[in-house]
Amino acid sequence: MNGPSRRDFLRTNALAALGLTALGLGACSPVSRDSGSSNGGGGGGGGANIRYGWWGGSDRQQAYNKALAEFRKKFPDIKVDPEFADFDAFQDRIATQMAGRNAPDVFWIAATSVVSFYANGMYHDLDGLKELDLSDFPKQDIEEFKIDGKLNTMPFASFTPALRSNATFLEEQGAKVPDDENWTWSDLSEFLKDCQKDAPKGRRAIAYNANADLGFESWLRSHGQELWTQDGNVGWDAEACGEWFAWWEDLRESGAALTLAEQEGVSMDWGIVGNRVMMSLGNSNHLTPDAPVFPKYEFQLHLTPKASAGADGSHRYVYTPRMAIYKQSANPEAAASLVNFLVNDEVMPGLIGTTMGAPTNPQQRKRTYEQADANGKKVIDAVDRERDTKGRKPRYEAPAGASTWRTDMDRTVEAVSLKKTSIADAAARMTKDIQAAIDAARK
């Protein structure tokens, strides 16, 4: 997606966020060619040793390890050292590696780091790398992938904010989810409260997902605001933020949503709540690992609501996680061969499935759909429905300084739910603190 202009990026100083200043690595510091790789790559990366960093759960780790095994069969002269961790541990590690100029040759990028890493010159330009074939990708997609007019990161999957329903539970109660093409947030709230009236003991209509980041962004966009602006600032006001918290508190106080105690924290544990709720709000791709936890139930995915009846669908959006080749990789050709394999090879759909959502490559997405089980098809369908919405507004990446915004959100949600602060004060404080962190990163 097109992000802020180059001028905006350059005035967005992310050195503090990456720890570069503390380590004495200013923007003019000499750059090392040593990325931890060795054996120098040639055409196609022959005889190269590269590192690949990514995050997720154990299922994703196993899937990508299988993919790397297949890659080695096709490129026996390229040795790939995997560097895997869960999401939080990965973010801590990659920030340290970037500061020490020792990042993996190919690495995934968290949404809050896309701009920061770009501003500090961490991405290798992908244009001109002959090992990377983009012929399967529509030109419009390639343009949307660019940052500041340059293709320096490669989106490799797509997912969306989505409501997940337990169709088995709803059928037992004789409840039918409203038309998700046209429903509003008020419609959803009323539906959940009605479901709760007839719910068996111990069951709730929805998990308390007030910290769902993609869901929060969908709420903001449907109410005419944004998560982030094009010029790299907070895109919402305290009023919209407070209304989001109030929407969830109304459900919790009515008994339709779980309490934090019932779901054991701000972030729900699916293994604990999955057999206790009729709906939850989260990311569409999470259905892939979550559905098998409760194989007796059938789950469905639904689009997030509109703010008002008759509103268009311009608020809908597709999130595309990105990977990049490290600017100082000693073996960019070998790294490009790996990226090309991941985004193009026909074996990937059978190995990865929809663990990261729908592949961005249309051919891979088609093959993935053909090979997917019922839940995998639902994940891809959810993405396609969002992608097919006409007039979708642009979406902008998180600015430097916003790396801890989700932590701020978790802390605020907890304070509101436990009645430690008023909704108005909590929303104002969170909005102010996140903007202050962004402003500090610019200094």
Q: What is the pLDDT of residues 338-386, one digit of tens each?
A: 999 999 999 999 999 999 999 999 999 999 999 999 999 999 999 999 9
| Backbone dihedral region for residue 148 (phi beyond 0: left; psi -120 to 50: alpha; all else: beta) | left
The residue among 118, 26, 101, 159 whose CA lies nearest residue 398 is 118
235 and 263 fall within a common domain: yes
- Listed range (87-101, 204-218, 230-244, 420-434) with the worst mean pLDDT: 87-101
**161, 227 in Cβ contact below 8 A?**
no
**415, 426 in Cβ contact below 8 A?**
yes
Residue 382 in any domain: the answer is: no
Residue 380 in any domain: the answer is: no
pLDDT of residue 24: 29
pLDDT classification of 144: cutoffs 50, 70, 90 = confident
pLDDT classification of 416: cutoffs 50, 70, 90 = very high
| Total number of domains constituting the chain | 2
361 and 437 fall within a common domain: no
- Which pTM was predicted? 0.87
pLDDT, average across residues 191-200: 96
pLDDT of residue 428: 98
pLDDT classification of 123: cutoffs 50, 70, 90 = very high
- Listed range (38-52, 101-115, 236-250, 279-293) with the worst mean pLDDT: 38-52
The residue among 427, 291, 296, 312 whose CA lies nearest residue 372 is 291
308 and 192 fall within a common domain: yes
Q: Distance (Å, rounded) from C-alpha 305 to C-alpha 317?
A: 12
Residue 388 in any domain: the answer is: no
Q: Residue 73 phi/psi, 5° resolution?
A: -65, -35
For the chain, what is the mean pLDDT?
A: 89
351 and 283 fall within a common domain: no
Strand partners for 163: 281, 302
Q: Could you read off the pLDDT of 75-96 as tens digits, one per residue?
A: 999 999 999 999 999 999 999 9
Residue 339 in any domain: the answer is: yes
Task: Count Cα neighbours of 299 within 13 Å in the Cβ-side half-sphere.
Answer: 31
The total number of residues written for the chain in this structure: 443
**78, 334 in Cβ contact below 8 A?**
yes
288 and 414 fall within a common domain: yes
pLDDT, average across residues 147-166: 95
Asked whether residue 327 carries a pLDDT value surpassing 60, the answer given is yes
Which residues are CB-neighbours of 308 under 8 A, at least 6 positions away? 184
Q: Distance (Å, rounded) from C-alpha 252 to C-alpha 246?
A: 10
pLDDT, average across residues 154-167: 97
332, with CB counted inside 10 A (0-12, 13-18, 19+), is buried
Which residues are CB-neighbours of 434 under 8 A, at least 6 positions away? 234, 402, 405, 408
Asked whether residue 37 carries a pLDDT value surpassing 80, the answer given is no
pLDDT of residue 443: 83
Higher-confidence residue of 430 and 309: namely 430
Q: Could you read off the pLDDT of 10-26 as tens digits, one per residue?
A: 333 333 334 333 322 22
257 and 122 fall within a common domain: no
pLDDT of residue 128: 84
**pLDDT-above-70 percentage for the chain:** 90
Which residues are CB-neighbours of 436 under 8 A, at least 6 positions away? none
- Listed range (196-200, 380-384, 390-394) with the worst mean pLDDT: 390-394
111 and 172 fall within a common domain: no
pLDDT of residue 413: 98
Residue 249 in any domain: the answer is: yes
292 and 334 fall within a common domain: no
**pLDDT-above-90 percentage for the chain:** 84
Q: Which residue has the tokens 């801590």?
A: 92
Residue 239 in any domain: the answer is: yes
Residue 93 in any domain: the answer is: yes
Which residues are CB-neighbours of 375 under 8 A, at least 6 positions away? 287, 288, 291, 299, 354
Q: Could you read off the pLDDT of 398-407 as tens digits, one per residue?
A: 999 999 999 9
Asked whether residue 27 carries a pLDDT value surpassing 50, the answer given is no
232 and 365 fall within a common domain: no
pLDDT of residue 13: 36
191 and 214 fall within a common domain: yes
363 and 405 fall within a common domain: no
Give the three-class secondary structure for 166: strand
191 and 149 fall within a common domain: no
**151, 125 in Cβ contact below 8 A?**
yes
CATH code for the domain of 221: 3.40.190.10
Give the three-class secondary structure for 97: helix
Residue 103 in any domain: the answer is: yes
**DSSP code per residue over 173-212:** HT-----TTT-BHHHHHHHHHHHHHTPPTT-EEE---TT-
Domain, as residue range, for 70: 6-158+319-372
Q: Which residue has the tokens 């369908």?
A: 381
pLDDT of residue 53: 98
Helix runs in 21-160, H state only: 58-74, 87-99, 114-119, 139-145
pLDDT of residue 17: 38
pLDDT classification of 310: cutoffs 50, 70, 90 = confident
